[in-house]
Amino acid sequence: MSRLRAVLLAILVTISAAPAAAQDDILVKAREAATSGRRDEALKMLEARLAAAPQDVDARLLYGLVLSWEGRYDEARPVFRQVLTQAPNYTDARVALMNVEYWSGHARDALELANQILSKHPGNTTARAVRERLEAAMRPWWIKADYTFDRFNDDREDWHEVSATLTRRTPIGPILLRGSHAERFGSTDELVEVEFYPRFRPGTYAYISGGGSFDPELYPRGRFAFDLYQSIGRGFEVSGGARAMKFDTITRIYVGTLSKYIGNWMLTAKVSHVPDEGDLDSTTYTGGFRRYYGSDGTSYAGISYSRGLSRDEIYAASDLIALHADTVRVELDHLFGSRVRLAASGGSSRQERTNQVPLWQATLSTGLSVQF
């Protein structure tokens, strides 16, 4: 009897697995035919499959994709909508519908779909690329004002820094012009920078920055930065880059990050190294997360912890002083409507000092951006 039960169970498993195997075989053959230029053949195979199994959303999605590859957007559009009716959380179908609207010139519909995707999956590289291109054409300008305040627990004066940034979105990535003014240790200084975030393809982009101070007191005479970002699948993104700052000598910083998107969450680990002599040789480790929210997935709240330098990004010589510090930061960036964004962050750093009480540094930052 036990042997008979085993035989019957094997038969049931084989019978239940047969439709799934047949579906996979048809999808593989249809995709192969479509990608090799035999799209009419692929469409006929998928039509036969859908006639036999109208609930097969994977086959219906591939059917719509082949139609869109053929430029038959008006036929592909209802196919993708039917997939979303059957499976509302099928992200690939929503991305495909977004592409059809984008390719067919329906910019506002494509932007709305991109926002829907990114509100649940902020790391989706295709939706990000489409939204960036559309916003570059529809709403290209941002202006932003920032203020940062630092207070210490010893007798040194508070630090103040203000900056103004003008951003122009372009089809290949945003370009920024920033001017900053700092007051520290009884000195003042100004820094002018240009930043560019070129996008080479969905999931591959860079950060390029150059600038400096004309009469350096706090900022470097020249500051240059470069990072390359690459999506590697499964929600992972890696980056690597370097900074070079001309003070009395050139200070270099090497940076690497690894980020992981999980739904609306982004987890990030970052390491930066300053190769130098003596105590200035340092490595900073940072870990944190962000929770994205809102109708377009660009608002977020986050928290991070770092061990090393107290600043996340180094701009002035004084930012290199706080070595071996433990720092906790919280941040909030919220979009009001579609044209106003408010950012705020706060952090606290503790640095051990030889034969002195620990140095505590509290940092508060605010920023207001307006789109026009």
Report, in angstroms and rounded to the nearest whole number, the Rg of the chain calculated over CA atoms.
27
How far apart (Å, rounded) are the C-alpha atoms in residues 314 and 268?
A: 19
Do the domains 2-138 and 141-371 sit in the same CATH topology, yes or no? no
Residue 144 token pair: 């932003």
How far apart (Å, rounded) are the C-alpha atoms in residues 244 and 225?
A: 6
pLDDT, position 139: 85
Give the SS3 label for residue 298.
Answer: coil
End-to-end CA distance of the chain: 78
- Rounded to the nearest angstrom, the gap between the alpha carbon of residue 133 and the centroid of all alpha carbons in its chain is 15
Q: Which sequence spans correspond to the domains of the chain?
A: 2-138, 141-371
CATH fold for the domain made of 141-371: Porin (2.40.160)
pLDDT, position 13: 40
pLDDT, position 322: 74
Please, are residues 190 and 214 in contact by the beta-carbon 8 Å criterion?
yes
What's the average pLDDT block by block, 10 residues per block, for the chain (372 residues)?
A: 49 43 79 94 96 95 97 98 97 98 97 97 96 93 98 94 97 96 96 98 97 95 98 96 95 97 97 86 95 95 96 90 89 95 97 88 98 90
List, in sequence order, every residue forming a beta bridge with 319; answer none if it has no partner.
none
pLDDT, position 8: 43
Q: Closest Cα to residue 163, out of 174, 147, 143, 150?
A: 147
Residue 61 token pair: 């999605």
Confidence (pTM): 0.87
Please, are residues 288 and 262 in contact by the beta-carbon 8 Å criterion?
no
The fourth-level CATH superfamily of domain 2-138 is: Tetratricopeptide repeat domain (1.25.40.10)
